Amino acid sequence: MPGIIVVGSQWGDEGKGKVVDVFSQKADFVVRYQGGANAGHTLVVDGKKTVLHLIPSGVLHPHTTCIIAAGCVLDIEKLSDEIRALKENGLLKDDAQLQISDSATVILPYHKVLDQAREKAAGLEKIGTTGRGIGPAYEERASRKALLFGDLFQKDSLRGKLEVALKEKNFLLEKFYNEKPVSVDEMITLIDKVAKYLEPYRSRDTSLQIYKALKATKKVLFEGAQGSLLDLLHGTYPFVTSSSTLSGSAMIGAGIGPGTINQVMGITKAYTTRVGSGPFPTECDNEIGERLRQTGAEFGATTGRSRRCGWLDLVALKYAIRLSGITSLALMKLDVLSGFEKIDVCNAYELDGQRITEYPVSPGDLARCKPLYESLNGWKEDLTQAKSVQDLPRYAQEYVQFIGASVAVPIDVVSVGPGRDQTLWIKPLFS
C-alpha cells in the first residue's frame, strides 16, 4: 500500500515540515499521529514562512486531506489559532481539508500550568520542555481521566469528566506547586467557545478513514513529530518527550495494523541539533556550534530557544534507523556546511576507555560517551542554487555518499535550502 512514514532521526527539528510539504504535492492524505503543539514544523513557499504546530504539513496543498489522529494531544486553543491564521492568509479554504479524530486527547490550560510548574520546581534538573502541557496530557490519558476531542461535544457528561480530572490536578497545583487552582466553570466556558469553532473539523473515526484511503491505494504520508532520540522508551530518558516518536507509533497513533506500510523515511540534518536538556555527545559548545547555529538559523520554531549544535552523529543515526526500520533518508541542510574546511563525523564513541560503535542505552552511559570523529574534506561553494546532486561540488557529493554508505541506507533526497525548489531528488517519491 502506498503509505510513507516520515520520522525525525535525531532530536527533532530535522526539517520534517519541509519534507512533508514537498512530498504532499503527490500525497492524498497527511496524518499527524503523535505529539502536540510542542512540534514546530516550518514550511517555506515562495519565500513565505508558515510554522505549523498541530496541523499536518500537507495543508498548503488544497488537494491534500490533513488528519490529526488519535495519538495526538490537542491544545484546542492553539489549534483554533492555527486554523484562524491559515484562513486569514487565504489557506485552508475548505473545512473538509482538516479532519480531527474524536479519540485525540485534549490539552487544556491546566496541563500547561502543570508542565511549567514542574519545570520551575526542577530547577537545574529540568527537562527543558516546551511548556505546552504535553507530559501532563499524556499522563492523564494513561490514567484514564483525560478528556477526548469527542467529549467536547457531549455536553451532558463534560462537566462530570472535568470535575474528576480537576480534583487531582487542583490538589497538585495548589498543595504541591503553590499555583492557583483551575475552576471547572472556567474550563467549560473555554470549551464552549472553542468546541464550536472546531466542530466542522470533527471526523469521529480517522482510523477508518485512513484504512479506507490505504485500501483504495491513496497516497498517505504519516508525519512524525519530534525525533527518535526524544522517544519516551528508547530516547535519552528522562530528557525525552512523552510520546513514542518512532515509526511504530504511526501504527498505534493512527490506528492501523503493522504491515500496511513498508516505507519509512528518516529525516536527518547534515549535522545535529538539540533543544532542551540531556546528553548530546557531538555537541560543539564552541565557535563551530555557534557557526552552525547562525548559518542554520537554529532557533526553535515553537519556543524561540537557541538550539544546541554539533557534528553529525552516525552512532545515534544508526540507532534511529534500527528503531524505526528506516528504509531511506532525506539529508537536510547540507548548504549549512559550506565553508568548513573540514567536517567531522562521529562514527564511534569512547565509553569508559572502550571504543564502542553501538548506541548505549543504559541510563547515564550516553552522557559519559566521548565522540570519535572521522574528518572529511569540506567545500567552499554555496549549494543553495543546485538543481541536482550532480551540481554539488565533489566533496559535498562525497559527504552524502559517505553517510549513505556508513549507515547502509539509501539517501533519496538532499535538501540545500528551506524552499520547496531547494530539494534534490535522488529517487522520486512514491516510486
Q: Report the catalytic residues.
A: 13, 41
Q: Which three cell numbers stand for residue 225?
A: 513529530
Side-chain-side CA neighbours of 10 within 13 Å: the count stands at 30
Comparing CB distances to ligand GDP, the nearer of 41 and 234 is 41
229 or 386, CB closer to ligand IMO?
229
Spatial neighbors of 200 by CB under 8 A, at least 6 apart, are 95
**Which of ligand IMO, ligand GDP, Mg ion, none does residue 38 bind (CB under 5 to 8 Å by kind)?**
ligand IMO
Which residues face 75 on adjacent strands? 107
Note whether 63 and 28 are within 8 A (CB).
yes
Let me know if 129 is exposed, middle or buried by CB neighbors in 10 A (0-12, 13-18, 19+). buried
Interacting positions 8-37 with ligand IMO (CB under 6 A): 8, 11-13
Of 260 and 306, nearer to ligand IMO (C-beta) is 306
For residue 230, the partner it binds in ligand IMO, ligand GDP, Mg ion, none, with Cβ less than 5 to 8 A by kind, is ligand IMO
Output the smallest distance, CB 197 to ligand IMO, in A.
24
Partner that binds at residue 44, options ligand GDP, ligand IMO, Mg ion, none, CB closer than 5 to 8 Å by kind = ligand GDP
Residue with Cβ nearer ligand IMO (130 or 272): 130
Bridge pairing between strands 308-310 and 272-274 = antiparallel
> Choosing among ligand GDP, ligand IMO, Mg ion, none, which partner's interface includes residue 418 (Cβ < 5 to 8 Å by kind)?
ligand GDP
Q: Where are the alpha helices (DSSP H) in 329-424?
A: 365-368, 394-407
Residue 120 amino acid letter: K
Plot region of 429 (φ>0 → left; ψ -120 to 50 → alpha; else → beta): beta
User: Rounded to the nearest 10 degrees, how much is the dihedral formed by the CA atoms of 329, 420, 376, 367?
Assistant: -60
The residue among 165 and 265 lying less far from ligand GDP, judged by its C-beta, is 265
Tell which positions 20-79 bind ligand GDP, by CB under 6 A. 40-42, 44
CB of 214 to ligand GDP, least distance (A): 24
One-letter identity of residue 78? K
16: contact with ligand GDP by CB under 6 A: yes
Q: Taking a C-beta distance cutoff of 8 angstroms, is the pair 80, 119 a contact? A: no
Q: Measured from the CB atom, is 24 or 241 closer to ligand IMO?
A: 241
> Of 44 and 372, which has the nearer Cβ to ligand GDP?
44
Comparing CA positions, the residue from 343, 407, 409 lying closest to residue 378 is 343
The Cα–Cα gap between 40 and 51 comes to 6
SS3 of 331, please?
A: strand
Residue 134 binds ligand IMO, judged by CB under 6 A: yes
Question: Which partner, ligand IMO, ligand GDP, Mg ion, none, binds residue 127 by CB below 5 to 8 Å per kind?
Answer: ligand IMO
Q: Which amino acid is at 43?
A: L
Residues that bind Mg ion in the complex, under the rule CB under 5 A? 13, 40, 301
Residues 90-129 that bind ligand IMO (CB under 6 A): 127-129
Which residues touch 423 (CB under 8 Å, ≥6 apart)?
A: 18, 22, 413, 414, 415, 416
> Judged by CB under 6 A, which of 3, 135, 289, 296 binds ligand IMO?
135
Q: What are the helix (H) ranges across 329-388?
A: 365-368
Q: Which stretch binds ligand IMO (CB under 6 A): 162-170, 210-218, 234-242, 354-362?
A: 234-242
Give me 326's grid cell: 528506516
The answer to whether residue 281 forms part of the interface with ligand GDP (CB under 6 A) is no
Interaction of residue 13 with ligand GDP, rule CB under 6 A = yes
Site for ligand IMO in 203-232 (CB under 6 A): 225-227, 230
User: Which residues in 320-339 contact ligand GDP (CB under 6 A)?
Assistant: 332-333, 335-336
Angle at 408 between CA 421 and CA 222, to 5 degrees: 50
Residues that bind ligand IMO (CB under 6 A): 8, 11-13, 38-41, 127-130, 132, 134-135, 225-227, 230, 239, 241-242, 275-276, 301
